[in-house]
Structure 1
Amino acid sequence: MTYRVWFTTLLGCGLASVTGAVMAAEGQRGADPSQVERGAYLARAGDCVACHTAEGGKPFAGGLEIDSPFGTIVSTNITPDPEAGIGNYTREQFADALREGERADGANLYPAMPYPSYAKLSDEDIDALYAYFMQGVEPVAEQPAESDVSFPFNQRWGISLWNWLFADAEAFEPASGQSEQLARGAYLVQGLGHCGSCHTPRGLLFQEKALDDSDEAYLSGETLGGWWAPSLRGGGEGDAGLQGWSADDIVEYLATGRNDHDAVVGEMTSVVANSTSHLTNDDLQAIAAYLKSLPRQSRDDENRQSETTPAQTEQMLTAADVDGKPGARLYLDNCNACHFANGEGAAKVFPSLVGNELVNADDPTGLVHVILAGARLPSTPGKPEALAMPDFGWRLSDDEAAQLATFVRGAWGNHGDAVSAEQVAEVRETLPEDRETSAPDFEK
């Protein structure tokens, strides 16, 4: 799995005092069932299960290995087991971990845990989450392996300075004059949803350049682990990205992983499957309204002219006039059946390639990954069918995959730069070893 900056790293949870254990137990016995149920919903909104569950493992028991720029981080057990998990955390220790990045033993958590976002959580939501994790989650007595983080990043004391510079421990406050719906959307996006962890550019010390919409950098897009996390700013003039989506388009995408414009790929697949597809329609509408309220600044590459217009590309492909155009020929052979000559695909089934943000991203790694390894839509309550795009790494050489990606990034008015065979080879090296993605050698 690729590095995810919203990953919750409650590393090395130490045992609290006997008094703390008693307080935690009292909290478990006294929790209202409706409070536990509400906490379960909030845990969905925070997507806690995605990072704290290993493949094939028990929910929240940790053990998921994640490659980061600083080494391998292993997710921790956040079940209420008193030794392997957080069963001895008091409510205040639980709150400090979420809001301030402080472990029960007083040590700093790594800022890969999105506590700068969780700092915005209300006391009421902290209470509900605590009730859920202490009473609604099954204890698992499994201690995950230790993380292997390189020096000096394994020195937790240095994080205090990082927190002083970049962490904001202020609770969420609605903007002046903000409607109830917009305030709810802002609270979910900035807080539990921690959307900025992936979609906001990072600074020199890997801090989010903005934690809320007071800065236009907030949610303006970032590349993480080779996947482009596009701008979520859907307001202002223009039709780039979410600007061209309606609020209902955003709701449908978050609820099902697909809409008339696009289909989810990469890390966002897990977010939709485990989190946003389980939110209420009111909350999804609030998120959509908030994202549509954020003006988007036009980028230079969005105004760059493409070599071919949508009509010219469609005419060329329809006539199969691809002599001397290897990328176009490869598109006809491998992609045209689903994405069609107009590149628009089929709504809610095969995503459009026209103006697609993954296709036009500065870093083509995500597009190349999809070409080589394929993609699968998540099964969600609203759309249970898990439609899949097949992988083409087994049949395309590095040079062919590069030609195909280059064609798609320059066709139908798209404005992406050319892709090299070397870039494709780098992506192929990152794919799982058990996946057959090497092009066949027909000379054998």
Structure 2
Amino acid sequence: MNNRRFARTVGWLALAGLVAAALLAWYVNRQPASPFAQEAAASSEPALISRGEYVARLSDCVACHSLPGKAPFAGGLEMATPLGAIHATNITPDQGTGIGAYSLADFDRAVRHGVAPGGRRLYPAMPYPSYAKLSDDDVRALYAFFMHGVQPAKQPNIPSDIPWPLNMRWPIALWNGLFAPTATYAAKPSQDALWNRGAYIVQGPGHCGSCHTPRGLAFNEKALDESGAPFLAGALLDGWYAPSLRQDPNTGLGRWSEPEIVQFLKSGRNQHAVVYGSMTEAFNNSTQFMADDDLAAIARYLKSLPGDPQRDGTPWHYVTAEARPDSPGAHTYATRCASCHGLDGKGQPEWMPPLAGATSALAKEDASAINITLNGSQRIVAAGVPDAYRMPAFREQLTDAQIAEVLSFVRSSWGNSGGAVDAKAVAKLRGHTDPASSSPIILHMR
């Protein structure tokens, strides 16, 4: 009897296992529903293509899918992940190596759900958790642009460097079920049209949270909209610290007015800061091309996000620095930095940014301060004109200890409270980063 009971138990467990495996296989391999199942061909209407080009600007597709000197959208950019390197794919309408064979439904599932034709799951380095909020009209326009407004480029995709078994993609389906939304943006009736437009751009095509929202253990964004306090609260990514976009006065936008946010996104600079790091490419190819109304909408939405006084601390105010000629870093600052940023740390706005009160000098994360000192800044190109002023790289002129000393000086002067920098942290970033390219990616779409 006991043997028969044991056999029945094993049988039921085996059956349950088979059912579970079948359900898992169905879930992993299912194709997300698309509202475009009956629309195969892309419209060639000029107005729709033009709108799609603008959506591509809003979405900054070029930032990941293009390389300097290569065809626009032909892919190849290497991106580091915790599992290994992956490379952005060719999204030109080439039939063999790009997306030329995609139907509108295929395109929709890839962009908004991270599922390529045949059920292949895309790594969430592709910001489909944000693009899921794109409207149907914007997806249709984007497809028309990529099919009729982009030149095909025959460039094979580069395989990822992620080793087996970590490169198996079926677990991404489970990740999507936990962390990736599927609904388009729904306007908040309690807010006006300008706020809702800003929320749509920031959360959706702009995918601002991909850089500015901290990640969880599963590399998921901890929040995808204003309902979560971590949303846009600042995050470390790829050797840069993307600061808070909330109303934190020290590490965020608390001291910025709405017009100053618009000015920064439109011209790449204001009295508080100049774009650098990953934001340079976003400015060069995306934000400066946005309509003024959309920039105003973004500013309105960002100014509505409360800061966190407990995290951010006492609001910064300028403190006249005492003369410290013999302190570590003071001499280096006077000889290497003061000609641009001033002995008083106030810079020469709006061209040479102030270091007094700078987010990089107030944030506990020191990656951005180290990275830009080591590697300099990429060229800013506004309205087609390269910037004449550019932060130089000091990796060949200064040792790890000297960089740590001068940054410790900056982060403890003029009321700054970011804290000291360790030479070991400088050495680590020196080994994992390269000098900023003097040839930025500038996309001339058509």
> How would you bin the TM-score normalised by the shorter chain?
0.7 to 0.9
Aligned to 2:363: 361
- Percent sequence identity is 46
Aligned to 2:424: 422
Asked if structure 1 preserves the Cα contact closer than 8 Å seen for 2:346 and 2:353, the reply is yes
Q: Does 1:297 align with 2:308?
A: yes
Aligned to 2:415: 413
Cα displacement (A) at 1:365: 2.0
Asked if structure 1 preserves the Cα contact closer than 8 Å seen for 2:195 and 2:301, the reply is yes
Asked if structure 1 preserves the Cα contact closer than 8 Å seen for 2:250 and 2:362, the reply is no
Aligned to 1:327: 329
* 1:229 aligned residue (226, 242, 251): 242
Distance in structure 1 (CA, Å) of the matches to 2:260 and 2:320: 28
What code does the residue aligned with 1:74 have?
A: H
Aligned to 1:87: 100
* 2:256 aligned residue (245, 254, 275): 245
What code does the residue aligned with 2:283 have?
A: V
Ranges in structure 1 where 5+ consecutive residues have no aligned partner: 1-19, 436-444
Q: Does 1:264 align with 2:275?
A: yes
Cα displacement (A) at 1:67: 2.1
Aligned to 1:312: 320
* 2:192 aligned residue (179, 186, 205): 179
What code does the residue aligned with 1:312 have?
A: T
With 375-384 and 258-267 compared, the bigger mean Cα shift is at: 375-384
Aligned to 1:55: 68
* 1:215 aligned residue (228, 237, 241): 228
Aligned to 1:4: none
What code does the residue aligned with 1:360 have?
A: L
Cα displacement (A) at 1:192: 0.2
Pair 1:35–1:201, CA change in 2 (3 A)? same
Distance in structure 1 (CA, Å) of the matches to 2:320 and 2:346: 14
Pair 1:196–1:271, CA change in 2 (3 A)? same
Aligned to 2:31: none
Cα displacement (A) at 1:430: 2.3
Aligned to 1:9: none
Pair 1:363–1:160, CA change in 2 (3 A)? same
Please list the CA deviations of residues 349-381 of structure 1 after superposition, one character each: whole Å capped at 9, or x if unmatched.
111112211222222122112112222451111
Aligned CA-pair RMSD: 2.3
Cα displacement (A) at 1:292: 0.4
Pair 1:186–1:248, CA change in 2 (3 A)? same
Aligned to 1:107: 120
What code does the residue aligned with 2:325 have?
A: V
Asked if structure 2 preserves the Cα contact closer than 8 Å seen for 1:120 and 1:172, the reply is yes
- Three-state SS of the structure 2 residue aligned to 1:72 is strand
Please list the CA deviations of residues 91-149 of structure 1 after superposition, one character each: whole Å capped at 9, or x if unmatched.
11111111111111112111111111111111100110010001111011111221111
Cα displacement (A) at 1:382: 8.2
Bigger Rg over Cα: 2
Cα displacement (A) at 1:240: 5.2
Cα displacement (A) at 1:386: 4.4
- Three-state SS of the structure 2 residue aligned to 1:223 is strand
Pair 1:87–1:434, CA change in 2 (3 A)? closer
Please list the CA deviations of residues 20-52 of structure 1 after superposition, one character each: whole Å capped at 9, or x if unmatched.
9x975xx24x42101000000100110101111
Asked if structure 2 preserves the Cα contact closer than 8 Å seen for 1:55 and 1:64, the reply is no
Please list the CA deviations of residues 282-334 of structure 1 after superposition, one character each: whole Å capped at 9, or x if unmatched.
111110110001111124453399xxx84431x52xxxx513x1311111111
What code does the residue aligned with 2:330 have?
A: A
Aligned to 1:6: none
Distance in structure 2 (CA, Å) of the matches to 1:408 and 1:121: 42
What code does the residue aligned with 1:100 have?
A: H
- Three-state SS of the structure 1 residue aligned to 2:253 is helix
What code does the residue aligned with 1:180 have?
A: A
- Three-state SS of the structure 1 residue aligned to 2:383 is coil
TM-score by length of 2: 0.85
Cα displacement (A) at 1:196: 0.6
Pair 1:396–1:195, CA change in 2 (3 A)? same
Pair 1:431–1:203, CA change in 2 (3 A)? closer
Aligned to 1:396: 398
With 185-194 and 250-259 compared, the bigger mean Cα shift is at: 250-259
Aligned to 1:117: 130
Aligned to 1:10: none
Asked if structure 2 preserves the Cα contact closer than 8 Å seen for 1:63 and 1:145, the reply is yes
Asked if structure 2 preserves the Cα contact closer than 8 Å seen for 1:256 and 1:382, the reply is no
TM-score by length of 1: 0.86
Distance in structure 2 (CA, Å) of the matches to 1:224 and 1:197: 9
Pair 1:89–1:129, CA change in 2 (3 A)? same
Cα displacement (A) at 1:265: 1.2
What code does the residue aligned with 1:322 have?
A: P
Cα displacement (A) at 1:279: 0.6
Q: Does 1:77 align with 2:77?
A: no
Asked if structure 2 preserves the Cα contact closer than 8 Å seen for 1:302 and 1:415, the reply is no
* 2:376 aligned residue (374, 383, 397): 374
Cα displacement (A) at 1:276: 0.5
The size of the alignment, in residue pairs, is 402
